[in-house]
Amino acid sequence: MRIAYVALTVGALTVVPHIAAQPASGDTIITTNRPDGRFVSTLGSVRSWMKTKAPRLQYKDASSGGELAAWRDSVADAMARIMKHPSAPAAEAKKVKTVQRDGYRVERWETYPIEGAVVPILALIPDGTDEKNPAKGAALCIPGFAQTKEMLAGENHGDYNLDCDTLPVPGRSAQALMLVKEGLVTVAVDNPSFGELSDNGRADYLLTSRWLLEGGWSYLGYTSWCDRVALQWLKERNDIPKDRVIVSGFSLGTEPLMVLGALDESIYAFVYNDFMCRTRERAFVMTVPDADNRRTFPNSIEHLIPEFLTEFDFPDLVCALAPRPVILTEGGMDRDFDIIRKAYEKAGAPENVEIHHYAKYADQADRVPLDTMPEGVDLATYFRLANVDPPNHYYKAEWVLPWLRKILK
Amino acid sequence: MRIAYVALTVGALTVVPHIAAQPASGDTIITTNRPDGRFVSTLGSVRSWMKTKAPRLQYKDASSGGELAAWRDSVADAMARIMKHPSAPAAEAKKVKTVQRDGYRVERWETYPIEGAVVPILALIPDGTDEKNPAKGAALCIPGFAQTKEMLAGENHGDYNLDCDTLPVPGRSAQALMLVKEGLVTVAVDNPSFGELSDNGRADYLLTSRWLLEGGWSYLGYTSWCDRVALQWLKERNDIPKDRVIVSGFSLGTEPLMVLGALDESIYAFVYNDFMCRTRERAFVMTVPDADNRRTFPNSIEHLIPEFLTEFDFPDLVCALAPRPVILTEGGMDRDFDIIRKAYEKAGAPENVEIHHYAKYADQADRVPLDTMPEGVDLATYFRLANVDPPNHYYKAEWVLPWLRKILK
């Protein structure tokens, strides 16, 4: 399959549907030769079982705006059930430090999402902002895997106490810094188990995810709760316009973004900075054994949320954001964007969804026109079929900032 | 901690409580130096959270037999909720082959636990057994990790169709063969994802566990359902005494044993062939980083059952078997056996629990008299503190067979 695909793509992309029509054979896919269609292998059996659990709330073109709104409520209910956020509110946050930077100040706050935890966050406030002169807007900025709140805020890596006044040249990940310079109050958070939240410098996503799952919770459930506590704190500030609160997520950070979007109607707009995919489909099709002759799930257990994929997939959750403004900056499959655009049309706000592809696939002729991803692909093939250009995965300020100015006008 | 422990055990075991009183410091345990006791590290935070979720149904010395029975019902309810067995019965099993062996015959049956699956099992029936001359008893035999139903039945490894008439010298794992020779009808099953149930020879416990968890189920939930279907089939045979059905589990197989024990009151007796431990406590105390400076959970996700450890731990589940006969063959901590013995006393059947330690720790003076396992241990230390002798982990026919003759008298 891999070889066939490489050979075929040397020619024209129009041959790609041919791949789907001739699925890979043998050990690159999971199949059964029994006449009754049953699998002897447990792997085949449980995949077959999972296929019967089609996402209950998959977005289907709504017949009306009212139907769309009812469906969105169902998504919110399911999300609340799966995320299991505590019913008790978090204890009140405390400010522990303020430092002045060039044109803005940085406040370090401690939040207390659950009884045994302290989760520090950074708030960046433009100079001259106060109750009488509120900021243009506000943004909760959520990092990707291996990024920290310090990177997002343009502070020094590992300088949790903001002691160092010599700041690094801001990297492309410094979304909270970019947005404060646009006149927004921004909040930078860590993803659990990383940066300041790590275990003596160990990024132990897997171990914390395991504990959370043992207790009936999940990494995303906990993460989105911590982020929700930070968002709630942000919304209560009196120096921001409460109807202009944005959530901006990069990569791993788009997962809590989707959760908050489903749960909190007061969020004004969203920066979805990752490629869009159907994560359920991805797990079904990436069946090619790796170099050690093992099949693996495409991601690790910090992405495991029991029952999530029986309710919805990522495109559905972006549909559920309609009609609120969203920018998707790193493309994906036209198939999925067609659905998202339809939802925004039905919500009466087609102009509120803005989609950009990777530069490499900006021209539609360079994108793969697939409707169904074929089973039997490896990661490189998956990325090509989904129009993803991994080396260019970064926070797309070039798209986000102009969009931001437009929606905050 | 490791060094200290090794040094101390050269002397007398009575110094062990001293270890618990002086917990290991620094990076071998997970601690916080904040005055409010909160953790900045997510790992510390989620462990702290999990500690608040003390097992709801932990066995506490019952005041009466009636109280014990009510508690046992609660355990059964919680187990049913967590295991999520399908409500639809399995399709009827089909016999696909019979071969005659020396003194018994082997039948290969296909069971159909869920829609997309076929799960073959082997039944071993003593010669001369029929409706009019029923067997002495019946046993469902569940293997350990990396064992197959063929190994349990004394058949050739990988000879799923029973084509080879030259049988191997039976290994110590051949529990189904040992028990058929005692006059029982026995059933040997595979654990999912292994042996005939593997994916083209791949023992992909992790990938199937992941799919099951994604769908809201679990490896143990699925395994115990498959085993329950096999047990149900066994119970419906007309050549066995229905009040003498035993479940025998080795190592990994003790987990479905505990599930079936909680859910099915008709089971007569149990062979629990593993050491007894508190798996929740084990995860809390094994905090020493490994050679790669990583902390890990003591087992992989085929042992992950969301919410299980918030309801009960292994000793509680053995308590819930009382008053039914059980033999525990590979020791553990006296602390836990004291609790189990108390439950059997309260149930009015102290004689129905039989406990053997590893030979190395058969003398009480050689066992560690711990009440609480200290945090900061590695695997070798854990095993020593729990009186476990890993090289001698095997099916203890020397204890099981005499016990069996006694309970089937």
Contact B42 A213 (CB under 8 A): no
Contact B47 A204 (CB under 8 A): no
**Cβ-Cβ contacts under 8 Å, A192 against chain B:** 42, 45
Residues 121-160 in A contacting B (C-alpha not used; CB under 8 Å): none
Measure CB to CB from residue A213 to each of B192, B294, B304 and give the nearest one.
B304
Q: How far apart are CA A353 and CA A152, in angstroms?
A: 25
Contact A42 B214 (CB under 8 A): no
Task: Give tens-digit pLDDT for B342-353.
Answer: 999 999 999 999
Please check whether residue A122 is in contact with residue A151, taking contact to mean a CB–CB distance below 8 angstroms.
Answer: no
CA distance B229 to chain A (A): 15
Contact B295 A115 (CB under 8 A): no
B236 vs A15, more confident: B236
Q: How far apart are CA A275 and CA A328, in angstroms?
A: 8
Looking at the complex, does the CB of residue A193 fall below 8 Å from at least one CB of chain B? yes
Mean pLDDT, rounded, for B119-144: 98
CA distance B213 to chain A (A): 6
Contact A204 B294 (CB under 8 A): yes
Work out the burial of residue A289: count CB atoms within 10 Å of its CB; fewer than 13 is exposed, 13-18 middle, 19 or more buried.
middle
Q: How far apart are CA A156 and CA A169, in angstroms?
A: 9
SS3 B243: coil
Tell me, what's the pLDDT at B22?
Answer: 41
Contact B293 A39 (CB under 8 A): no
Q: Estimate the share of chain B in helix, then strand, then coil, as percent rounded to the nearest 5.
A: 40, 15, 45
Measure CB to CB from residue A40 to each of B34, B197, B304 and give the nearest one.
B197
Tens digits of pLDDT across chain A (409 residues): 333 343 233 333 333 433 443 444 468 999 999 999 999 999 999 999 999 999 999 999 878 888 999 999 999 999 999 999 999 999 999 999 999 999 999 999 999 999 999 999 999 999 999 999 999 999 999 999 999 999 999 999 999 999 999 999 999 999 999 999 999 999 999 999 999 999 999 999 999 999 999 999 999 999 999 999 999 999 999 999 999 999 999 999 999 999 999 999 999 999 999 999 999 999 999 999 998 999 999 999 999 999 999 999 999 999 999 999 999 999 999 999 999 999 999 999 999 999 999 999 999 999 999 999 999 999 999 999 999 999 999 999 999 999 999 999 9
Reported ipTM: the value is 0.94
Residue A270 CB partners (closer than 8 Å, separation 6+):
A246, A247, A248, A249, A257, A261, A321, A324, A325, A326, A327
**Cβ-Cβ contacts under 8 Å, A222 against chain B:** 42, 46
Measure CB to CB from residue B42 to each of A43, A192, A293 and give the nearest one.
A192
Looking at the complex, does the CB of residue A87 fall below 8 Å from at least one CB of chain B? no
**Cβ-Cβ contacts under 8 Å, B207 against chain A:** 43, 295-297
Contact A208 B50 (CB under 8 A): no
CA distance A115 to chain B (A): 7
Please check whether residue A269 is in contact with residue A407, taking contact to mean a CB–CB distance below 8 angstroms.
Answer: yes
> What residue of A is the nearest CA neighbor of B28?
A200
Measure CB to CB from residue B115 to each of A52, A295, A296 and give the nearest one.
A52
Contact B215 A49 (CB under 8 A): yes
Measure CB to CB from residue B199 to each of A43, A52, A198 and give the nearest one.
A43
In chain B, pLDDT over 90 holds for what percent of residues? 91
Tell me, what's the pLDDT at B62?
Answer: 74
Residue B149 CB partners (closer than 8 Å, separation 6+):
B120, B121, B122, B143, B176, B188, B189, B190, B195, B196
Tell me, what's the pLDDT at A61?
Answer: 81
Report chain A's terminal Cα–Cα distance, integer Å. 50
CA distance A392 to chain B (A): 30
Measure CB to CB from residue A47 to each of B52, B197, B211 and give the nearest one.
B211
Mean pLDDT, rounded, for B177-195: 98
Task: Specify the pTM.
Answer: 0.94
Looking at the complex, does the CB of residue B189 fall below 8 Å from at least one CB of chain A? no
Task: Give tens-digit pLDDT for B363-386.
Answer: 999 999 999 999 999 999 999 999
Task: Give tens-digit pLDDT for B46-65.
Answer: 999 999 999 999 999 878 88
**Beta pairing, strands A91-101 & A104-112:** antiparallel
